[in-house]
Chains A and B, each alone.
Chain A
Amino acid sequence: MFPFMNRLLKSLLLIPIFLSSAFSQDWIRTGTGLGVEKVRLAVPDFKASSQDPKNADLLKVFNDTLWNDLDNAGIFDMVSKSFYPLVPVGSPPDVKFEAWSSAPPSAAMLAFGNLGVSGNNLTVQGWLYDVKNVASPQVLGKQYGDTPTSDAARMIAHKFADEIIFRLGGGIPGIAESKIYFVSSRSGRKEIWAMDYDGSNQHAVTHVGSISLSPRVSPDGSRIAFSSLTRTGWDILMYSMELGRLVSFPRFGGTNLSPAWSADGTKLAFSSSRSGDPEIYVVDQSGANLKRLTSSKGPDVSPAWNRKTGAQITWVSGRTGLPQIYTMEADGTNPQRLTEEGYAVSPAWSPNGQFLVFSWIRHYGPGAPGAQDIYIMDIASKQWVQLTHDGGRNDFPYWSPDSRHIIFQSSRSGSEQIWTMLADGTNQKQLTSAGSNTQPNWSWK
């Protein structure tokens, strides 16, 4: 049903085999593309379909966004534009199959179309052609209409990219329309911000005016739970995206941190020191039925639910000294320690329920290099793979809804910024640059 997911699973399942042969050597390439030939996709610039002066700017936004979305998807071999036939392609009659399917482009698929403004309307027509199937080439034909703004042009490009990724990527919805929530200090205070998955459209969500941290968007995208310093201390606050304001949520007393939604959206797990020691609690999304799950001295913080089953919770505990990653059943029973050494924090569960991604200073102590990097662990076997190797402190990893990407924060560029990469550690890109930007959280769709 999900061939791609199976491929990802299979490739990640190869980890133990790699590990046994190369345990001392951390740099292992695994993941989404392993042993799978990527589809060779050509995407010539869309053509203007009218004479409007706005066309040029909107075409640039549209073409750049579409190309980036398809390139970022990690499942295409993007054919370089320098190999393309010189004749522009704006509609089906323009397609010279032979010119696209043979060398130098040697494309398997061709995405093309046109964009035009007329009056107050922006119209985009897009096609996806299987250029080797001359008799029946059309895989996709779409038409979009909106107002002639660059925001609209970008959204249409995201939608068309997601259609292509859905068709050619094993039926997994693309992420071009997904959002990322994060903490930014650029206004002078740490507030919750949002952006498109590619780093565009960055804007403030909250204006609390104190210190706000750890945003977690609900599975339906309607609310953001976060932790904020209020008059009474650190409390879990709830922001409604629909109402555009904070809505009420109980104050529990003590220091309340790191909320996490269950995949069905009915519950939140978080850390509270209301008893005098930071412990993990679960509460209904309404704030009712507070239940304590842990009871060990030392900090317990940063819970995350199993996104597939909802039956387990992973979290960070300092009960034995330096923080380590644990899992337990959602009722608090059967705690299991997963990391055996170092300083391990910020776990997040993969959408398929099989892996954790987390941040680890693996060799901790005097004389140790002490790099803080992002790792993936297969929960059943406890085998892990290191994804970042490029210096800086790397923390707060989070999965994309399609499992193919991981977002995280890194100080490698000199300040804390948000970065994205494919789930095998390749294609690392910086998304933010103004102020310091931390604790990214990816929307569920």
Chain B
Amino acid sequence: MKQRKLQCITMVFVLGAIMMLAACKKKVPPPPPPAPPAPTEPTASLTANPNTIEKGQSTTLTWQTTNATDVSIDGIGAVEPNGSQAVTPAESTTYHLTAKGAGGTQDATARVTVTAGAPPPPSSSGTEEELFSQNVKDVFFDYDKSDIRPDQQSALQADAGFLKQHPNIAFTIEGHCDERGSTEYNLALGDSRANAVRNALVQSGIGGDHIKTISYGKEKPFCTQSNESCWQQNRRGHFVYQK
């Protein structure tokens, strides 16, 4: 026991001596250290291609980050800073990527919508419902706005093109809003969004008889995080095939 203590003390002494020696070397004042560069905030993006799949199919998640040391995707775990991976979600899923770095944390999300189709017969051209969900794309809106954005016109024209070829399909346009603001106002706003999409389709020559509209306001969000990429997912006119 005593022996042990002595060893310990000796060790401390030797270590101390080494440290002092090391310190002694630095008699010349060191040049002022260069200011450490301010940590840059990480950036992150996450996309799913395609973002709508049938049940059983897979999709590819692709992500890029910068200035991040620790990148993970919920449900997948830690991943490389840049990469891609095939996933086969059983149901509609919002993938959530978190990029942590010295400069902070950045989130990115990607929504994969899984449509319940019949098990895919390889040679079939798909049912009308499958074709609908593959071809008719949702329309996204700016905050507190219900007019059709210029960058959504092409999606809307493609939707109109498909619907013209399938004039018997009945469908519902759901108006959705992000979580900010009042419940009642958002329901009215969602109604305006659904009607804006409907009016645009009717102007493109689609018969209004087969179109229903409903507002969900902020009652049925696609994505539940409090960030802009998630809010953008929720500000939309969503198409639902009517059986």
Contact = CB atoms under 8 A, between A and B. Distances in A.
B214 interface: yes
Contact of B183 (A213, A299, A321, A322): A213
A345 B217 CA distance: 15
A214 interface: yes
Interface string A372-409: 00000000000000000000000110000000000000
B184 A302 contact: yes
A345 B219 CA distance: 18
B127 interface: no
B188 A345 contact: no
A254 B82 CA distance: 47
Interface stretch (B32-40, B98-106, B189-197): B189-197
A257 B189 CA distance: 12
Interface stretch (A34-42, A82-90, A98-106, A269-277): A269-277
B13 interface: no
A345 B191 contact: no
Contacts of A213: 183-184, 187
A342 to B, nearest CB: 11
Contacts of A301: 184-185, 187-188
A410 to B, nearest CB: 13
Contacts of B182: 302, 316, 323, 345-346, 359, 395-396
A273 B191 contact: yes
Contacts of A233: 214
Contacts of A305: none
B187 A234 contact: yes
Contact of B189 (A227, A318, A395): A318
A48 interface: no
A278 interface: yes
Contacts of B189: 299, 318
Contacts of B219: 190, 211, 229
Contacts of A323: 144, 181-182, 185
Contacts of A438: 183
A318 B144 contact: yes
Contacts of A322: 144
Given A254-B191, A277-B195, A299-B191, A345 B184 contact: yes
Interface in B166-212: 181-185, 187-189, 191-192, 195, 199
Contact of A214 (B181, B184, B191, B195): B184
A343 B181 contact: yes
Interface in A418-445: 438-439
B192 A298 contact: yes
Nearest to A278: B188
A257 B144 contact: no
Interface range on chain B: under 10, 10 to 19, 20 to 34, or 35 or more?
10 to 19
Given A271-B188, A278-B188, A301-B188, A234 B183 contact: no
A258 interface: yes
Interface in A207-239: 211, 213-214, 227, 229, 233-234
Given A233-B214, A234-B215, A318-B144, A346 B184 contact: yes
A316 B181 CA distance: 12
A258 B184 CA distance: 7
A85 B22 CA distance: 75
A6 B219 CA distance: 42
Contact of B195 (A271, A273, A318): A273
Nearest to B199: A276
B225 to A, nearest CB: 15
Given A233-B214, A276-B195, A257 B188 contact: yes
Interface in A271-305: 271, 273, 276-278, 298-302
Interface string B136-158: 00000000101000000000000
Contacts of A318: 144, 185, 188-189
A273 B199 CA distance: 14
Nearest to A210: B219
B197 to A, nearest CB: 13
Interface of A: 190, 211, 213-214, 227, 229, 233-234, 254-255, 257-258, 271, 273, 276-278, 298-302, 316, 318, 321-323, 343, 345-346, 359, 395-396, 438-439
Interface of B: 144, 146, 181-185, 187-189, 191-192, 195, 199, 214-215, 219
15 contacts: A213-B183, A214-B183, A214-B184, A234-B187, A254-B191, A273-B195, A301-B187, A301-B188, A302-B184, A318-B144, A322-B144, A323-B181, A323-B185, A345-B184, A359-B182
Given A214-B184, A345-B184, 20 more contacts: A213-B183, A229-B219, A234-B187, A234-B215, A254-B191, A255-B191, A271-B188, A273-B188, A276-B195, A278-B188, A278-B191, A278-B192, A298-B192, A299-B191, A301-B184, A302-B182, A316-B184, A318-B189, A396-B182, A438-B183
8 closest cross-chain pairs (CB), A and B: A299-B188, A345-B182, A278-B188, A301-B188, A255-B191, A273-B191, A258-B184, A302-B184
